[in-house]
Amino acid sequence: MKDIYDITIVGGGAAGLSAALEAYDPNIKLLIIERDQIFGGILNQCIHNGFGLHVFKEELTGPEYAQKLIDSVIKKNIEYILDTTVVDIKKEDIFTLTVSNIEHGEFEIKSKTIILTSGCYERSRGQISIPGDRPKGIMTAGSAQRYLNMDGYLVGKEIFILGSGDIGLIMARRMTLEGAHVLGVAELMPFSNGLTRNVVQCLNDFDIPLYLSHTVTDVVGKESLEAITIQEVDKDYNFIEGTQKTFKVDTLLLSVGLIPDVKLFESIAIDIDPLTKSAYVNQALETSIEGLFVCGNALHVHDLVDDVTIESQKAGRSAKKYILDAKKDKACKKVVDFDQLIRYIVPQSIDFNNLSQDVDLSFRTSKKIEKATFVVEQNGKIIKEVKAKYIVPAEMQKIKLSPSDFISKDDLYIHVKEMS
Amino acid sequence: MYDYTIIGAGIIGSLIARELSKYDLNVLVLEKENDVANVQTRANSAIVHSGHDPQYGTLKAKLSVLGNKLYDDLEKDLHISLLKTGAYVCAHDKDEEDILNDLYENAKLNKVNDMEFLNLSQAQLSEPNLSDDITKVLSLPTTKVCFPWEVAFFALENAINNGVELIRNSEIISIDHKNDIYILKDQNDQIYESKAIINAAGVYSDDIKDMIEDDAPFKITPRKGEYFVLDKSVRGFINHVLYPLPSKKGKGVLVTPQVHGNILLGPTSELVDDKGSISTSKTGLTYIKQHVTALAKNIPFELIIRSFAGVRATSTYKDFYIKESTSHKGFYHVAGIDSPGITAAPAIAKYLVDEIIKIKLPIKDSFTPTIAKKIVFNHLTKEEKIKKQKENPLYGRIICKCEHITEQEIIDAIHGPLGSDTIKGIKKRARAGSGICQGGYCESLIVKIIARETNKDLTQVDYDQKNTPILYKETKVSS
């Protein structure tokens, strides 16, 4: 590995593979690094279906979706290394990745650009400070999913789930089908944090109660989990006395949020958006470090793998353009600003000197809204309006802007106009 | 027949074992838990205090100042991790400044070195995140931070190398004293005979005492302390241990940098009835958040990765109770070791052996005070890493991505001198799963490594205590 790669992709999940396929060019030296022994990332443990409707126009399981990408990567002869962890990234003129594996130990890889697709991790019990004992029997829904779907082991028989994220909902169904008893799902917000279809198909269809505006307030069990208590909260998240309910369970699964895993950024000074907890990017998905691109769940958490693929294709195209285009504009970054009904927007900035492709704004609202218009303004003038209905924070919203939509090179402002 | 049997393998029992292992004696350590350092030693602030706080003239004062110095020896001999942070005790107004002055006078009597007073702007030069409400600071440069589990592990490993025997999962249920011999029985009806007993049972030390004598010079009145842990990406936010002014309840809610880069916020201090209760509470955790802001501004609460609680062995005696039983010769109580117990631990061990037991034996020729330095792979230089990986390729596979822990380090933790076969045991030894994802990624890999290395089925790998497998059953088996 003494050569210099043009593009190195960190991560061989949906984002990494999709970016690689799009970045592929016979004149580009491309490498994918994956820490697991197989490609596919989290798709491998998502054995339920519902993937691929947008990208492949068919309904696939997670492993099937991954396999389609893997087959294409193999067919194109794209170079890759598996069972290899990236431990550090540094940049001087070009990037140096320090990586480690059994075959070579720790070694360095040089690359002109990097596409970081390191995915996300699940918030743990500690991060949300659930009080009580700390027995065995509490884990994230994703961990339980991995044990069940990849290793073939159930983690318990009497289950309660905190958080109505999609993984939690899907595990409620999955564990029921494997013979466990799911007593309920509690959600702090007054609405589910998962896709509506998952609430219907995973809870309603199996008569699993969803306790909205509830959270876990106690955990009991010195060695093994014995019981949990949930309690209702008011609209300011204060606990309502007298609403405690106790469930005798041996397992508490947590589906309380996913956080982009951008730990590698610690050794490379990159601008971070406190809202997404990931990199601040422009419409090419390029970070504040020239030549470093981020996409997929490492950039912000997506609802659908199809969205991950589409976004990662964009990152792949951007990196390819960066390598193949001799002319590199100096980035002129303009900010995308928004009102408080919007939780975050990606990309956070637009490079108006480099506006060759569409700008895809992805965002989430901060509350449930029946009916609204999303308004994009520049210089106080409306340049785009998009109407939407039944808007929930759990479902990502999108606005596409073509280069001709812009009337200047000034900041954008996006706001939500609620309709009654 | 043992010469000495130590009940309890926390940091105190382990350091006493090491102290006794200098001599030609048969020494046994009995631990009720399935792991060393599992109760009080597992959950505390990890501070090696300068010895400023205990009242002059007490054993606590004497042994904490001495213990602080002895940690430098442990660092040399056992290669323990020691962070030389220094500490700031912070006053907020005139009344508190008066108390701070008293504290300074007390510390001077205790022979604490190098102290000085700072005003806010002087203190903020080195700690810019110090709260702006602070008016005066007492700087205690000799304050350090250790990693208590590691101190216990390494001390006991050193003791074992020098001939001490350790038995785990042995909870003493009765003690008889006949013909100058103590007969101990554990919950498995195992009998141990010993000429002398050292009661280092922490919060259970009064239960052990009650098995042998009725008059009660001390009783344990356990106090619970709750804590938050901030992720190690917080490193550098605060570099000193920050104390508010001490109160009757203890040293208050502190900000404490840890050896691995994390920061602890806490503890609370609540009397509890149940010695085994290490649950956290909404009230306690809220209390920490409210009080810690008096010490530091801009605390990144969003970096909280864990909360925990520990119970400290506060006693009715008000000082460390380190004495031989009046009615039973050769029975020594090392009890009531609450804060500054970690600090005093090496001094307690010396004090017990030299001044209470008064062992007159010569140090045996074979005694070795040192152990081999443990490999923390991520701390090695590039060249050392390459060399190690050539010898053993498993140093190349990273299992815990957050803490950069390699497969070989996990295998070492399983098979080491004080090896373990539980997920928590591996976490305590190798730090796998201690990072921001709290094992979300690596735990399933660790379960498989433990199962492989110990020839167990995956459903037999315990989380922490006995019979706590995290996998309940295999799904696709024909029965």
Neighboring chain A residues of B476 at a CB cutoff of 8 Å: 152
CATH architecture of B87-141+221-312: 2-Layer Sandwich (3.30)
Q: Over 60: is that where the pLDDT of A2 sits?
A: no
pLDDT of the residue at B179: 93
Q: Is A155 on the interface with B (CB under 8 A)?
A: yes
ipTM above 0.85, yes or no: yes
What is the helix, strand, coil percentage profile of chain B, to 5?
A: 35, 25, 45
Interface test with A, best of B307, B450, B466, B474 (most A CBs within 10 A): B307
- Mean of the pLDDT values across residues B189-211? 97
pLDDT of the residue at A327: 63
Round the CA-based radius of gyration of chain A to a whole number and report it.
22
Q: Is B247 on the interface with A (CB under 8 A)?
A: no
Measure CB to CB from residue B401 to each of A85, A101, A223 and give the nearest one: A85
Query: Do the domains A1-122+257-326 and A124-256 sit in the same CATH topology, yes or no?
Result: yes
DSSP per-residue codes, A341-393: TEEEEES-EEEGGG--S-EEEEEEESS-EEEEEEEEEETTEEEEEEEEEEE-T
Interface test with A, best of B38, B232, B235, B279 (most A CBs within 10 A): B279
- Mean of the pLDDT values across residues B159-166? 98
Interface test with B, best of A102, A107, A140 (most B CBs within 10 A): A102
Q: Is A409 on the interface with B (CB under 8 A)?
A: no
Q: Over 70: is that where the pLDDT of A331 sits?
A: no
DSSP per-residue codes, B34-48: SSSS-STTTSS--EE
Which among A195, A155, A198, A148 has a CA at the least distance from the CA of A174? A148
Q: How many CB pairs under 8 A join A and B?
A: 145
**Topology given in CATH for the domain delimited by A1-122+257-326:** FAD/NAD(P)-binding domain (3.50.50)
A131 and B281: CB-CB below 8 Å? yes
- Residues B79, B86: contact at Cβ < 8 Å? no
- Mean of the pLDDT values across residues B109-137? 97
pLDDT of the residue at A325: 87
- Mean of the pLDDT values across residues A121-143? 96
Question: Closest-CA residue in chain B for A151?
Answer: B474
* CATH 3.50.50.60 fits domain A124-256: yes
CATH architecture of B2-40+149-219+316-356: 3-Layer(bba) Sandwich (3.50)
B396 and A101: CB-CB below 8 Å? yes
Which among B221, B245, B188 has a CA at the least distance from the CA of B30? B188
B430: how many CB neighbours lie within 10 A of its CB? Answer: 27
CA distance B98 to chain A (A): 37
Q: Over 60: is that where the pLDDT of B194 sits?
A: yes
With 0-12 CB in 10 A as exposed, 13-18 as middle and 19+ as buried, what is A201? Answer: middle
Give the whole-angstrom CA distance, residue B133 versus residue B215: 49
Q: Over 70: is that where the pLDDT of A328 sits?
A: no
Q: Over 90: is that where the pLDDT of B262 sits?
A: yes
pLDDT of the residue at B198: 98
Question: Closest-CA residue in chain B for A223?
Answer: B465
Task: Kindly name the residue from B49, B52, B240, B333 that is annotated as catalytic.
Answer: B49
Q: Is B459 on the interface with A (CB under 8 A)?
A: yes
Neighboring chain A residues of B33 at a CB cutoff of 8 Å: none
Neighboring chain B residues of A150 at a CB cutoff of 8 Å: 444
Which residues does residue B138 pair with via DSSP β-bridges, in sequence order? B89, B117
- Mean of the pLDDT values across residues B92-111? 97
Q: Over 60: is that where the pLDDT of A138 sits?
A: yes
pLDDT of the residue at A330: 56
Is there a catalytic annotation at residue B379? no
Measure CB to CB from residue A155 to each of B307, B398, B470 and give the nearest one: B470
Mean model confidence pLDDT for chain A: 94
Work out the percent of chain A whose per-residue pLDDT is above 90: 90
Query: A217-259: per-residue pLDDT in tens?
Result: 999 999 999 999 999 999 999 999 999 999 999 999 999 999 9
Segments making up each domain of chain A, as ranges: 1-122+257-326, 124-256, 332-419
* pTM recorded for the entire structure: 0.95
Q: Is A234 on the interface with B (CB under 8 A)?
A: no
B440 and A148: CB-CB below 8 Å? no
CATH class label, A332-419: mainly beta
Task: List the beta strands (DSSP E) in B231-356.
Answer: 241-243, 254-257, 263-266, 270-271, 304-312, 321-324, 331-335
Query: A255-299: per-residue pLDDT in tens?
Result: 999 999 987 777 888 999 999 999 999 999 999 999 999 999 999
Query: B216-241: per-residue pLDDT in tens?
Result: 789 999 999 999 999 999 999 999 99
Taking each continuous run of H as one helix and of E as one strand, the counts in chain B are 12, 23
Query: B422-439: per-residue pLDDT in tens?
Result: 999 999 999 999 999 999
Q: Is A257 on the interface with B (CB under 8 A)?
A: no
Segments making up each domain of chain B, as ranges: 2-40+149-219+316-356, 87-141+221-312, 377-454
- Mean of the pLDDT values across residues B160-189? 97
- Mean of the pLDDT values across residues B66-93? 97
Neighboring chain A residues of B279 at a CB cutoff of 8 Å: 131-134, 219-220
